[in-house]
Structure formats: C-alpha cells, structure tokens
Amino acid sequence: LGGEKGCPLSERAMAFDPFEGPYQVDPAEALRWARDDEPVFYSSKLGYWVVSRYDDIKAVFRDNLTFSPRIALEKMTPVSREAQEALASYGYAMNRTLVNEDEPAHMERRRALLDHFLPENLLPRRERVRALVRERMDALVDKGRADLVQEMLWEVPLTVALDFLGVPEDDMETLRRFSVAHTVNTWGRPTPEQQLEVAHSVGRFWQYAGKVLEKMRAEPDGPGWMHQAIRRNAEMPEVVTDSYLHSMMMAIIVAAHETTAHASANMFRTLLTHRDAWDDVCADPSLIPNAVEECLRYAGSVVAWRREATRPVELGGVRLPQGAKLLMVTASANQDDRHFEEAARFDIYRDNAVDHLTFGYGSHQCMGKNIARMEMRVFLEEFTRRLPHLRLEPQEFTYLPNTSFRGPDQLWVAWDPARNPERAQP
C-alpha cells in the first residue's frame, strides 16, 4: 500500500466519511487536505481509493481501459440479505447501461444512440423548455415566496427528461420518489431498515420501467430517445441489448432529471449568495452561459464518480492494485488550485470555468450535458428577467446523504411582487 508521499492510511484518510460531516457540507473544502497532502488515499470505511486532484481524475477519465467504468452504478453500501431478497422478489436485474459499460460494447452503443443529442436536434426543444418554465413561473410570480425545488426545479427537468425520452408522463410524484430511492440504493448509506424500504421502492421502479418499455414497444414509430433505442434493439440486438433497454429505462429517468434539478438548485443558491454576480447576470444576460459553467464547476450536482483499476497502476504517486475501486471526487478536482486560479472563489468571468469535470470527461462524458446546460440557461434567463429582486431566505440547507448526487432538499426564496417588472401575464 506504500505511496511516495507518506502512508495512504493516515488518520485523516481513515476518518474520511462521505455520508456525514464536512463532505456533506462542502465536498470540495472537505478534501482540501487531500489535494494538498494525500491526493490519492485509501478509505478503509468505504473500501475505495479516493482521488482528489484535477490532473489525476482527468487521467483516470481519459483511460477507460485501465480504469473501467463497470462499477459506476454498483451499490456503495453492501446490501443486507433481506434487502437483496426484496429486490429479487421484483425480478430486479439492473445491469449495464452506457455509463458502466466497457469497450468496445460501449462505443458501439453510444454511436448507435447519438442522434437525439446532436445540437441541431436539441435546438427545437429550447422553446418548449421556456414555455414550461414560464408556465410554472406564472403560477408563483405573484406569491412573493416559494420553495424553488418543490415548485419549479424538479418538475421542469423531469418533464423535459420524459419528453426527450418519449416516456409517457404518468405519475411524476411517484417517479420522483423512485428516483430518490435509486440514488440512496446506489450512492447512499441506508440503515438496514431503510435498505428494506429502499429495496421495495427500487423494485417497484424496476417493474415500472419494464411496463413502460412494453407500452412503448407497442408503438414502434413513437418519438424520443428511448423509442429510438427500442428500434435499434430490433435492428441490432447484439449492440442495443434487451438487458440494456430495461436497465437504461430506469437509470436514464434519474440521470436525466435529478442531476439537472440539483444542478439548477445549486446554481440559484450559489448566485443568490454572490449577489454581485446575480446582479451582473440580471444586467447582462450574455453572461449567462459562462455563469452556468461556473456554477457547474463551483457547485456541481454530481460530485464524485467511480472507476475500477483493471491492472496494477500508479496514480498520483500511489501504486494501486488490480481491482482497486476509485472514488473520484470531481467536486474536489473542480476546486483544485493547480488547475483553477483561486479555485475556491466563485467568479462568473472565469475563462476556464468550462474545464470542470462535473459532466465527467472522455469517451463516457455526459451525453445529456447540452440539454442540462440549455435548461439551466433558460431558468436563469427567465428568473433574472422576471424576478431580478429575488433573494434567498435564511434557512438551513439539507442534502440527501450520499457520495455522488448533490442538491438541497429545499430552496426557499422570497421577493416583493409589487416590484416585479412583469406581472403574471407578460
């Protein structure tokens, strides 16, 4: 286990706990010591090697043969027998999707499913997103106070996600609850009792995904990305497999909406706590694209991602054995002073903000990044225009304890409706 720079099992390494304490408050700050002194350390509590510096994480993302993504959706917490049995009773068989598939299968599949993500195919969606945001805003703009998460920021991304996927908008509240269960199941540390409850929700989510798939198969010319995947499954079943379809149906609903909902909530929180930046964006909307990137860098919604070493390899001066599991804390990379000048400073004018690793990097980089960016930009365009006097209410922020997905459970904001530049019906 020897590293060049001291023993990787230092006291701080042993004390590292991503499910509570400093990491839950601010994952980047919580790993400042690691970036400075032990950039790659072994966490015995997790059974993972934690990687904290920008260059090391980018090197791992770049080489997905040495660092396989196959553990990306593995359960972080070993599952109790009861929970396993509960999952099995639903026929739960979550398997490879895209994000956790090795080469060469991954690239073949990614290429077969790329069209819908091309910028020219996304552009027409922007005005639909705007209409949706406006409609939700009309409902709250005269109220003076709102929890943005509850009243805007989960529902819009979920609606956009289902529309993009071509999945019928049946029961959004249930889907939201299922998504939270999936996050806890994959990246959380549930107690044995919670495990059982979570297992039942995830099992129901799995069956729901199967039913939706059946319904969609019956409509072969249907719209959206999942319909395209179903057609590809018929044309090239060895590339877009049956198992992929069912696993992806479940995983993508979460990937496409929770990530964006959290990123948007983090963005509003960050901008409203840096009032000068908010006021600048209100005065000059052309600042919005870079402000969005800086928010994704400074307070991203995915804060850590995983890989597994397929051979013994050295990283950041530490020798890793074959099979080493890596937790790459991208939030830490995003605040690494070795790459970003005064990295802990929020600066919407930063010229390399876009270098952040919140969408991953390399051949698995997030396919939905431009959809997420587009939604976040539209949120800002609409809010800075219609509620420039928005302010954050004093509140305690709470987060769902897990290693990877991060966004506040609630985000209370207030404003004086008498000062609204536009009324409910602009």
- In the region spanning residues 48 to 77, those forming contacts with ligand HEM, defined by CB under 6 A, are 61, 69
Q: Identify the bridge partners of residue 328 per DSSP, sorted by sequence position.
A: 51, 305
Nearest approach, Cβ of 263 to ligand HEM (angstroms)?
4
Determine, following the binding rule CB under 6 A, whether residue 372 of this chain makes contact with ligand HEM. yes
Least separation in angstroms between CB 384 and ligand HEM: 19
Contact stretch for ligand HEM (CB under 6 A) within 184-192, 193-201, 360-368, 413-421: 360-368
52's CB contacts (< 8 A; 6+ apart) are 31, 34, 35, 39, 40, 329, 332, 333, 336
CA distance linking residue 301 with residue 408, whole number of Å: 10
User: How far does CA 150 lie from the centroid of its chain?
Assistant: 18
Residues 282 to 301 in contact with ligand HEM, rule: CB under 6 A: 300-301
Minimal distance, residue 381 CB to ligand HEM, in Å: 17
Q: Which residues in 87-106 contact ligand HEM (CB under 6 A)? A: 98-99
User: What 3 state SS string does 195-245 have?
Assistant: HHHHHHHHHHHHHHHHHHHHHHHCCCCCCCHHHHHHHHHHHCCCCCCHHHH
Taking the least distance from each CB to ligand HEM, the nearer of 256 and 271 is 256
Instruction: Mark the segment that binds ligand HEM (CB under 6 A) among 2-10, 137-145, 313-321, 366-374.
Output: 366-374
Residue with tokens 């996600």: 161
Could you give the string, one character per residue 135-174, with x where binding to ligand HEM holds by CB under 6 A and - elsewhere?
Answer: --------------------------x--x----------
Q: Write the DSSP symbol of residue 152.
A: I
* Binding status of residue 302 toward ligand HEM by CB under 6 A: yes
Report 110-129 residues binding ligand HEM (CB under 6 A): 110
Query: Least distance from C-beta 326 to ligand HEM, angstroms?
Result: 12
Give the total of residues touching ligand HEM (CB under 6 A): 28
**Looking at 145-153, 341-349, 364-372, 414-422, which segment touches ligand HEM (CB under 6 A)?**
364-372
Here the tokens at position 92 are 């739960």
In angstroms, the CA 383 to CA 399 distance is 24
Nearer to ligand HEM, 179 or 195 (CB): 179
Helix crossing, 155-165 with 119-140: angle to 10°?
A: 150
CB 394, min distance to ligand HEM, A: 27
Contact 142, 148 (CB under 8 A): no
Regarding 408 and contact with ligand HEM (CB under 6 A), the answer is: no
Q: Is residue 407 within 8 Å of 261, Cβ to Cβ? A: yes
Name residues contacting ligand HEM, limited to 231-260 (CB under 6 A): 255-256, 259-260
**Three-state secondary structure readout of 163-199:** HHHCCCCCCHHHHHHHHHHHHHHHHECCCHHHHHHHH
Which residue lies nearer to ligand HEM by CB, 133 or 263?
263
State which amino acid sits at residue 18: P
Contacting residues for 419 by C-beta, under 8 A, at least 6 apart = 389
* Residue 305 binds ligand HEM, judged by CB under 6 A: yes
Nearer to ligand HEM, 317 or 362 (CB): 362
Residue facing ligand HEM at closest CB distance: 368
Q: How far apart are CA 94 and CA 226, in angstroms?
A: 17
> Buried b vs exposed e over 124-158: b needs ≥16 C-beta within 10 Å?
ebeeebbebbeebbeebbeeeebbbbebbbbbbbb
Question: What is the C-alpha to C-alpha distance for residues 179 and 154, in angstroms, rounded to an integer?
Answer: 11
Q: Considering the complex, what minimum distance in angstroms separates the CB of residue 257 from ligand HEM? A: 7
Beta-strand ranges (E) seen in 291-408 are 305-309, 313-315, 318-320, 325-328, 391-392
Nearer to ligand HEM, 305 or 346 (CB): 305
Residue among 69 and 316 whose Cβ is closer to ligand HEM: 69
Residue 199 makes contact with ligand HEM by CB under 6 A: no
Give the shortest CB-209-to-ligand HEM separation in angstroms. Answer: 15
Interacting residues toward ligand HEM by CB under 6 A: 61, 69, 98-99, 110, 161, 164, 255-256, 259-260, 263, 300-302, 305, 358-362, 364-368, 371-372
